Amino acid sequence: MITLGIETSCDETSVALLRDEEVLANLVYSQVDLHARYGGVVPEVASRDHLRKLPPLVEEALRGAGLGFQDIQLIGVTRGPGLVGPLLVGLSYAKGLAVALGIPLVGVNHLEAHIFAHRLAHPEAEPPLLALIVSGGHTSLVHVAKWGSYREVGATRDDAAGEALDKFGRLLGLSYPAGPAIDELAKRGDPQAVPFPRPMIDSGLDFSFAGLKTAAVYFLRGHPHAKREDLCAAYLEAVVDVLAEKALRAAKQLEVRKIAVVGGVAANRRLRQVLPARTEERGLKVYFPPLELCTDNAAMVAACALYRHRELREESPLCLPAAPNLPLGV
Ligand code: KG4
Ligand code: ZN
């Protein structure tokens, strides 16, 4: 089965081809340079660029995999959550192609797709598991009792973890998205340099990162010459500490032995060190996808669509709307 995956929910245009669960192509074209001067994603600019980039990217993926349009048997496309304009570009293209080729289309939830990055990377580590979804727009803890069954047990009440890093980066004058630059600077800094707060670390499974950013604003006002490396290391440490503690607490409460960390922030070097160290001493196993499957990509979308079509017999109607606020359902 050849599945074409399409992802355009935010500022990455991505196209993937799978042969069953084998990734034949996973191309990602990032719009970061386009949005850099605005300090964030401009939806209209993003939509227009997806429109420009998506068709040639599909052709490039097919060429690279040695396939033609006639070989595609299923199309999976992100239908939400995300920015409505960018989502509509991907959806409209996918619908047109599905009609032209006479093949089924499956609209995919972007958050479920992030969880499928884990399945692609570690097919042996099956549910029950706890998924820690950490991206620019979302931070949540999800109990995956079996594939297709999701229960959110905790989520952020304000900013997502990636957003907290991006906003902090903006304070330091780093370009958007700041996560990778903070990751890099933090390597050379002292994580104990500033005692940033760990919001809500001792209570429940929800997160709150807005107060951490405010603490950073005040600290920077009082210490304008603090070393950027130390600031990044200490701020990142606070974020990672909270994520690790909550993930451990949730795994314990749910009595699961596996934690799958997914989403853009799962690419973070410090999180990839701290979480396994803390979990393994308690007999839990933690899994991170390879970096290219952490940040937004279409391989995870295709994998999710393939599962929903094959195992749940799902096929989306051509009137399927974009769903900017789509929650992670069952
Ligand atoms: O999953 P993703 O690509 O897009 C969303 O669905 O939001 O996540 C993007 C987020 C951004 O906030 C970015 O700063 C963060 O992931 N990110 C990182 C790293 N790479 C990307 N954060 C920390 N360390 C990284 N290496
Ligand atoms: Zn994402």
Kindly state whether residues 73 and 137 are assigned to the same domain.
no
Together in a domain, 93 and 134: no
Q: Is residue 107 part of a domain?
A: yes
Among candidate residues 185, 313, 191, 319, the one with its CA nearest the CA of residue 244: 191
Same domain, residue pair 280 and 301: no
Within this chain, do residues 90 and 206 fall inside the same structural domain, yes or no? no
Residue 120 lies in a domain: no
Examine the domain organization and report whether 172 and 238 are in the same domain.
yes
Domain co-membership, 98 together with 131: no
Q: Could you tell me if 37 and 59 lie in one domain?
A: yes
- Report CA(224)–ligand 2 centroid distance (Å): 33
Structural domain boundaries enclosing 93: 2-114+294-310
Confidence of residue 329 (pLDDT cuts 50, 70, 90): confident
Pocket probe mutation, ligand 1, options 165, 235, 273, 293, max atoms within 8 Å of Cβ: 165
| 206 lies in some domain | yes
Q: Give the phi and the psi of residue 23 in degrees, each rounded to 5.
A: -80, 115
171 and 254 co-located in one domain: yes
Same domain, 74 and 162: no
Counting atoms of ligand 1 from 1, which one is nearest the CA of 110?
A: 6
What pLDDT digit, counting tens, does each position of 99-149 carry?
Answer: 999 999 999 999 999 999 999 999 999 999 999 999 999 999 999 999 999
Position 40 confidence tier, pLDDT thresholds 50, 70, 90: confident
Report which ligand 1 atom has the smallest distance to the Cα of 176.
14
Q: Is residue 323 part of a domain?
A: no
Same domain, 98 and 158: no
pLDDT at res. 317 = 98
Query: What's the domain count of the chain?
Result: 2
Average pLDDT over residues 287-293: 98
Q: Is residue 327 part of a domain?
A: no
The pTM score is: 0.97
Q: Does the structure show a pLDDT above 70 at 288? A: yes
pLDDT at 87: 98
Q: 90: Cβ below 6 Å to ligand 1? A: no
Contacts 24+ apart (CB under 8 A), 65-71: 65/17, 65/24, 65/25, 67/2, 67/17, 67/24, 69/97, 69/100, 69/101, 70/101, 71/2
Model confidence over 62-85: pLDDT tens digits? 999 999 999 999 999 999 999 999
Centroid of ligand 2 to alpha carbon of 128 (angstroms): 22
pLDDT at 280 over 90: no
Query: For the segment 172-192, what is each residue's pLDDT rounded down to a tens digit?
Result: 999 989 999 999 999 999 999
317 falls within a domain: no
Tell me the mean pLDDT in the region 205-224.
97
pLDDT at 160: 97
Q: Which two tokens stand for residue 27?
A: 């191309």
* Residue 315 within a domain: no
Q: Are residues 136 and 30 in the same domain?
A: no
Q: CA-CA-CA-CA torsion for 275, 276, 282, 285, nearest 10 degrees?
A: 120
Ligand 1 nearest atom to the CA of residue 82, by list position: 6
Check whether 89 has a pLDDT greater than 60: yes
Between 330 and 151, whose confidence is greater?
Answer: 151
**Residue nearest (by alpha carbon) to ligand 1 atom 14:** 179
Residue 330 has pLDDT above 60, yes or no: no
Distance between Cα 31 and ligand 2 center (Å)? 14
Q: Return the C-alpha torsion angle 155, 159, 161, 164, nearest 10.
A: -170
Q: What is the pLDDT of residue 37?
A: 86
CATH of the domain at 100: 3.30.420.40
Q: Are residues 160 and 62 located together in one domain of the fold? A: no
The verdict on the CB of residue 289 being under 6 Å from ligand 1 is no
Tokens representing 278?
Answer: 């803390």
- Give the rounded percent of residues in the chain with a pLDDT score beyond 90: 96
Task: Give the DSSP letter string of 26-47.
Answer: EEEEE-HHHHHTTTS--HHHHH
In a domain, 168, yes or no: yes
